[in-house]
Amino acid sequence: MLIWPANRFVAGEDKESAITVVKDLNAHGIAASLDLLGENVSQRAAAEKAHDDYVSLLRGIADARVDSNISIKLTMLGLDIDLGLTRDHLVSILETARDTDNWVRIDMEGSRYTQLTLELFYDVWGSFKNVGVVIQSMLRRSEGDVERLIAEGARVRLVKGAYKEPPPLAFQDKREVNTAFDRLAERLLDRGERPALATHDDERIDHAIEYARQQGIAADRFEFQMLYGIRRETQEDMVRRGYCMRVYVPYGKEWFPYFYRRLRERKENVTFVLRSVVRR
Ligand SMILES: Cc1cc2nc3c(=O)[nH]c(=O)nc-3n(C[C@H](O)[C@H](O)[C@H](O)COP(=O)(O)OP(=O)(O)OC[C@H]3O[C@@H](n4cnc5c(N)ncnc54)[C@H](O)[C@@H]3O)c2cc1C
């Protein structure tokens, strides 16, 4: 059951509730990316159900005529079980997305999945162009990954990274993560295919806007992305200022890992939860 206060960050338990949220965002000029919550499934049946639910979601988006693509996690489609099964699920979802004129973003999970996720991405990229991937600025390898994705003409969502990673793989100092984000954002703005800069951080957003202005890069060549429930006023304000804004809208019953990551990355989110508890 979706308990309060998780519903600040999660749009509901079923796709109907999530699509209602998307309609409201669209009415404010904001596009969406719907994410069915769930990750690290260990049973084939669960991976198959996730695949079926995503196919049904794509049809639901088409029927409702809302402006939303989808975000998927490969460990929800079977990556911990069987690579072939995961690939089959991914291809089937991409086919449905193509048939319904939609587009799929493959979320990036913890570092033990980075290489596999990118390999699967390049594998399907040969046949499908309605797919993009995510790069985490906290990872030391990301500069090389961004260069290859730019060379391929692939669409990248740039994030800081939501998972705790060890020092050999990832910057531990927030300032280094931020500097890497700005540097990668510049490359993507210069040469990337419609990059998505996904952050709530005003300094990162301002840096990107100023860089795009200096280089004469039009606002419709890139987009900003934020999470549902975070900085809604800023999301609307960005649209008023002429920027493209897409909000990531998670829904479903498996909300706890996602909710926990939101609490872990910002103490104010914990304060919000504690205040809600006290008020009840
Ligand atoms: C659309 C989207 C998709 C994502 N996909 C992935 C993914 O596939 N893989 C992955 O690892 N991570 C993903 N993330 C999560 C991301 O990696 C970060 O963990 C998350 O966005 C927090 O980092 P931040 O850039 O917002 O800045 P933070 O470093 O968390 O915050 C920096 C500053 O932002 C401002 N801020 C942040 N939150 C608030 C708030 N609630 N209210 C007001 N100001 C605030 C504050 O000024 C704060 O100091 C995604 C994030 C977004 C927005």
CATH number of the domain at 213, please: 3.20.20.220
With respect to residue 133, please indicate whether it lies within any of the assigned structural domains.
yes
By the 8 A CB rule, do 189 and 208 touch? yes
Q: What spacing in Å lies between the alpha carbon of 195 and ligand 1's midpoint?
A: 16
Asked if 62 and 101 count as a contact pair (C-beta separation under 8 A), the reply is yes
Residue pLDDT, tens place only, 26-43: 999 999 999 999 888 999
Alpha-carbon torsion (60, 67, 222, 178), positive or negative: negative
The whole-angstrom separation of Cα 91 and Cα 76 is 14
157 is catalytic: yes
Domains of the chain: total: 1
- Which residue's CA lies nearest to atom 51 of ligand 1? 198
Two structure tokens written together for 167: 């020092």
* 53: in domain: yes
Name the catalytic one among 107, 155, 204, 246: 107
Tell me the per-residue pLDDT of 56-101, one tens digit each, with 9 for 90 and over: 999 999 999 999 999 999 999 999 999 999 999 999 999 999 999 9
Residue 5 lies in a domain: no
Q: Which two tokens stand for residue 55?
A: 């196919």
Distance, CA 88 to ligand 1 centroid (Å)? 31
| % pLDDT > 70, the chain | 93
Q: What is the pLDDT of residue 244?
A: 98
Q: Which protein residue has the closest C-alpha to ligand 1 atom 35?
A: 201
List 157, 204, 246, 262, catalytic entry: 157
The answer to whether residue 2 sits within a structural domain is no
Please provide the average confidence, as pLDDT, over all residues in the chain.
94
Residue 135 falls within a domain, yes or no? yes
* 4 in a structural domain: no
Tokens of 171: 């910057």
Three-state SS letters, 66-127: CCEEEEECHHHCCCCCCHHHHHHHHHHHHHHHHHCCCCEEECCCCHHHHHHHHHHHHHHHCC
Answer yes or no: is 40 within a domain: yes
Tokens of 192: 């990337």
Residue 146 has pLDDT above 50, yes or no: yes
Decide: 228 and 7 in contact? Cβ < 8 Å. no
Is a pLDDT exceeding 60 seen at residue 280? no
Domain with 24 in it: 10-279
Q: Is residue 189 part of a domain?
A: yes
CA distance 26 to 24: 5
Nearest CA to ligand 1 atom 41: 230
Closest CA to 156 of 114, 180, 189, 123: 189
What pLDDT score does 254 carry? 84
Q: Which helix (H) or strand (E) holds 226?
A: strand 223-227
User: How many CB atoms within 10 Å of residue 58?
Assistant: 26
Q: Helix 15-27 crosses helix 44-64 at what angle (to 10 degrees)?
A: 40
Q: Which atom of ligand 1 is nearest to the CA of 246?
A: 1
Q: Is a pLDDT exceeding 70 seen at residue 162?
A: yes
Residue 273: the pLDDT is 59
pLDDT digits (tens, 9 = 90+) for 178-194: 999 999 999 999 999 99
Could you tell me the pTM of the whole model?
0.94
Q: Point out which residues pair with 70 in neighbouring strands.
A: 34, 104
Answer yes or no: is the C-beta of 107 below 6 A from any ligand 1 atom.
yes
* 262 labelled catalytic: no
Candidate of 70, 75, 159 to mutate for ligand 1, largest count of ligand atoms within 8 Å of Cβ: 159
